[in-house]
């Protein structure tokens, strides 16, 4: 009975009900072109909404493993840098805007790293109306009890996070920071900061699908993993967003001159900003 209820619920809730309506429209529409477009739309939406597909798709963007806590000291890191995600604007229950759940997930891990290592924390993130970097500093201080060493609040992308935070990090003599962001977002973050001449240590959190231990088998998929679900659609969205972003960043890195690392610099030549 519970399986029947779960199946019925997933089919009647969006996106399940939308898929059923598109399927009904396919049989009602006349004309090859109209049916073809409906079928393509139905298939794309169906694929994007199935957890058994969307979770591995997003997990495929996870190029870096988590750092075991006992190995943090061995990284040789000299700071912690946290990238922003989004803002929960005009939150009535708080009486003000706050960081969104994805950003707070990153901040929580940064606070953990700070307590383990004592390293200074830098946050970066802008915004059209309210800078996420400012809200990140407030969340770290008021909710997590962690001071912030520096705030960058003008950037509008991951690429800008690195470019605009770079002068602050260089002024503090930082070259080897722990970079904190979601595991599936980390490849773009690493590329952006490496292009600015930093030897970052990827410190991913918020894994879409944590890798199984070598001695463990992957958990078998349940029946509901093959039914359309709204969270799966968002995972597919993030995966496609990161794939497109990575291609764009690769092209951008190819078209612009990278900032040299200190080891590559002429001692008499200053770093360009």
Predicted pLDDT of residue 40: 94
CATH top-level class for 69-206+239-264? Answer: alpha beta
Predicted pLDDT of residue 272: 43
E strands, 47-184, in order: 80-83, 87-91, 96-99, 121-124, 150-152, 178-182
Range list for CATH 3.40.50.620 in the chain: 69-206+239-264
Q: How many CA atoms lie within 13 A of 139 on its CB side?
A: 29
pLDDT (tens digit per residue) in 143-185: 999 999 999 999 999 999 999 999 999 999 999 999 999 999 9
List, in sequence order, every residue forming a beta bridge with 150; answer none if it has no partner.
122
Helix (H) or strand (E) holding 83: strand 80-83
Predicted pLDDT of residue 1: 54
d(CA 174, CA 244) in angstroms, rounded, equals 30
Predicted pLDDT of residue 218: 55
Torsion of CA 84, 253, 196, 110, to 10 degrees: 30
**pTM of the entire predicted model:** 0.87
- Regions of the chain with pLDDT less than 70: 1, 211-220, 262-273
Helix (H) or strand (E) holding 201: strand 201-205
Q: Report the chain's terminal Cα–Cα distance, integer Å.
A: 64
Predicted pLDDT of residue 269: 47
Helix (H) or strand (E) holding 202: strand 201-205
């Amino acid at each position: 009975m519970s399986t029947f209820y779960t199946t019925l619920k997933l089919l009647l809730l969006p996106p399940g009900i939308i898929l059923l309506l598109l399927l009904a429209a396919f049989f009602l529409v006349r004309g090859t072109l109209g049916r073809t477009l409906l079928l393509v739309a139905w298939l794309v939406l169906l694929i994007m909404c199935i957890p058994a597909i969307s979770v591995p798709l997003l997990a495929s963007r996870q190029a870096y493993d988590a750092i075991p806590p006992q190995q943090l000291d061995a990284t040789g890191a000299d700071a912690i840098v946290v990238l922003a995600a989004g803002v929960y604007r005009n939150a009535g229950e708080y009486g003000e805007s706050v960081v969104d759940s994805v950003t707070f997930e990153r901040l929580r891990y940064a606070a953990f790293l700070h307590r383990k290592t004592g390293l200074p924390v830098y946050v970066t993130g802008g915004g059209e109306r309210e800078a996420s970097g400012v809200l990140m500093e407030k969340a770290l201080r008021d909710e997590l009890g962690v001071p912030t060493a520096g705030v960058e609040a003008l950037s509008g992308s991951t690429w800008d996070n690195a470019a605009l935070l770079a002068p602050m990090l260089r002024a503090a003599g930082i070259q080897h920071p722990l970079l904190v962001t979601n595991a599936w977002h980390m490849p773009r973050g690493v590329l952006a900061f490496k292009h600015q001449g930093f030897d970052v240590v990827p410190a991913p959190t918020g894994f879409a699908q944590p890798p199984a231990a070598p001695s463990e088998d992957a958990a078998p998929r349940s029946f509901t993993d093959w039914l359309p679900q709204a969270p799966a659609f968002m995972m597919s969205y993030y995966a496609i967003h990161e794939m497109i972003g990575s291609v764009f960043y690769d092209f951008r890195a190819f078209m612009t001159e990278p900032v040299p690392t200190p080891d590559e610099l002429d001692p008499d030549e200053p770093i360009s900003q």
